[in-house]
Structure 1
């Protein structure tokens, strides 16, 4: 049994995570949030107070922290007594935070694969480049480390596991589909950190098909999906985190990730990319200033958290599993629908942040009660998804399934 949570990060996802931890502090105990800019943490605590999110009276403190400094992270873990660390900062800090958890024995969670700021789209499988190299050390130290436990990666991995376990035991294909059918009213913006968003799409699109890694260009392969609630939507095959663990755990299946994009986004992206403005490599201006083009673009775009008040519409994110059951063709779509306005009314954030920020809190609750306290490093599909879905149902992200027998709650 573990208690007391340290949240690292102070962006839109961290705000959701903070509210949800507060709503469940009877289970999670003392709460702390830390970021390089303490003022951002304090603003999140003010939001928690304004919304009355604390379930019961308790500790929730803000701290300043350079999460790139393993020693500083370890010191804060010890100072706060945190036994669970939820890392929702930029993925550039995953390794120092994970190292601090291995050193202190605290459970670790993140929502994305670690990235080297100077590299884009490394050789697959991406987890093997950083996280999985520390798997044996986690096991030796008895440290629970749950990788990629946002929505995608995260919940969609659990969707895949459930689809296989309950409906398609002879799996042949796993397709993750992420559609944001909402509107933020801005001329152009990304829904989460622009730097991370663009880095996902400027590299090679890797998928696992026919038992091997396949590569394509961004926006090369598109497909129309007819989905619950949001209807027909165009999505493009995209490189993404969960493909890399699902391919390792289900190598017999084709594994692909599809994300919805409108024509306007694609046009703006292509212009920025063709001009070199999405490069992570520094350039020198005529005035002798060294700048990173991608960081300049990030600086001039709207802060994704500022989109929340005006956001309307819904998201549909799910996993289609195809294959056979008892020798017959079988297919199921396991999914969630989230509403931007509902998210804003509850926690002051837009739906993309909401879907990413809620799942690590559900995972923290399962670590707290021992259900997911594995004492080793795992990806989400390696864990029993049913208790995860039960908590997600209660705290804001209900799971549904659609197959030949209809559309219904996952446990109906």
Structure 2
């Protein structure tokens, strides 16, 4: 049984992860939080203590760490005796943290695909460019590495696996829809790291259609759905992590990702992009200073974690799956609805951070208990989704299913 957790990152998602680990520290053991800025980690420690989140007495400590430094990360894993590493830092550190886990024997979990700072929307499937190159090494050393175990990617991968395994004889389409119907009250802000947020939308939109990679431009293709709780919502086909594993692992000919955007977001984004302010490539100012426009935009926008106190409304994220059952056409929608205000009341973060932060803790619990301790590198859809969904139901992210039998809670 694996025990003791090292959380890498100190943003809004890390805060959720810390609170949820604390709520389950009878299983997970001691908790350590590390990032470049120790003060941010300490603020999370203080938040956990203020809310009394620790289920039982145990260690809860903050550390300074440059997670790109593999040797330093290995040393901290060894010092804290952490057997579970939850990486919710920048996507730029994935491969460094993964390598540190491989060399120390710790289980590795993350919530997003690795990226290189100077590259955007590389050749798909994205996982094959980085993480999957370590598959053989993980298997050889018996290292459990669960990739993309946030909500999307993560929970939606489990939803896809449940649909394929339990509700259909054959599946033709998986459409993942991510709607944030909440409001933060700011003129313009992103719900997670602005740099990562914008990088998702400035390159090609890759989707898996007719069993091949298809490229579109951002905001080129849209759909409107009447969704539970949040009502009629328009979303746009977007490139996203889970498409790159689901397309390779489930044998479904069409896998697409759709994200909701308001007109105001689209207008501001378009202006920033057309001005070159979303570029990841450095430019030199008249004063001779070299700057990266995207990092400048990130610096002037609100910190996503600062949005939490005033955030109101709900999210709706799920999978629309179409195929055949007993020779007949069938469609199901497997989804979750989360509330921003409820998330803030419980853990001090907004709903987007909550949906991303709860799942890796559920996965860590399943690894600690052995159910998901795979001893190799996997994406979520390659694991048994049932205990994961059941645990999420208990931890604040209840799953529902809507089909010809109605709209109801889903558990196993």
Normalising by structure 1, we get a TM-score of 0.99
In structure 2, the residue matched to 1:333 is 333
Contact 1:149 1:155 in 2 (8 A): yes
Q: Which digits, 9 at most, give the CA deviation of each residue in 1:178-215, with x for residues without a partner?
A: 00000000010000000000000001000000111000
Q: Work out the CA distance in 1 between the residues paired with 2:122 and 2:164.
A: 29
Structure 1 residues without counterparts, runs of 5 or longer: none
Contact 1:201 1:218 in 2 (8 A): yes
In structure 2, the residue matched to 1:49 is 49
1:333 deviation in Å?
0.5
1:250 deviation in Å?
2.3
In structure 2, the residue matched to 1:32 is 32
Contact 1:174 1:254 in 2 (8 A): yes
Matches within 5 A, 1:4-403: 4-403=4-403
Contact 2:174 2:252 in 1 (8 A): no
Q: Which digits, 9 at most, give the CA deviation of each residue in 1:302-329, with x for residues without a partner?
A: 0010100000000000011110011111
3-state DSSP of counterpart to 2:218? coil
Q: Work out the CA distance in 2 between the residues paired with 1:24 and 1:253.
A: 39
Q: Work out the CA distance in 2 between the residues paired with 1:75 and 1:169.
A: 49
Q: Work out the CA distance in 1 between the residues paired with 2:411 and 2:110.
A: 27
Q: Work out the CA distance in 1 between the residues paired with 2:292 and 2:202.
A: 15
1:405 deviation in Å?
0.5
Structure 2 residues without counterparts, runs of 5 or longer: none
State the aligned residue count. Answer: 412
Q: Work out the CA distance in 2 between the residues paired with 1:188 and 1:31.
A: 34
Q: Work out the CA distance in 1 between the residues paired with 2:291 and 2:28.
A: 42
1:169 deviation in Å?
2.9
Task: Give 4+ residue runs of structure 1 displaced > 6 Å after superposition.
Answer: none
3-state DSSP of counterpart to 1:103? helix
1:252 deviation in Å?
3.4
3-state DSSP of counterpart to 1:119? coil
3-state DSSP of counterpart to 2:208? strand
3-state DSSP of counterpart to 2:337? strand
Q: Work out the CA distance in 2 between the residues paired with 1:13 and 1:161.
A: 25
Contact 1:163 1:333 in 2 (8 A): no
Q: Work out the CA distance in 2 between the residues paired with 1:93 and 1:252.
A: 31
1:340 deviation in Å?
0.1
3-state DSSP of counterpart to 1:358? helix
1:163 deviation in Å?
1.2
Normalising by structure 2, we get a TM-score of 0.99
Contact 2:68 2:97 in 1 (8 A): yes
User: Which is further off, 124-133 or 322-331?
Assistant: 322-331
Q: Work out the CA distance in 1 between the residues paired with 2:271 and 2:169.
A: 44
Contact 2:389 2:411 in 1 (8 A): no
3-state DSSP of counterpart to 2:101? helix
Q: Work out the CA distance in 2 between the residues paired with 1:390 and 1:231.
A: 26
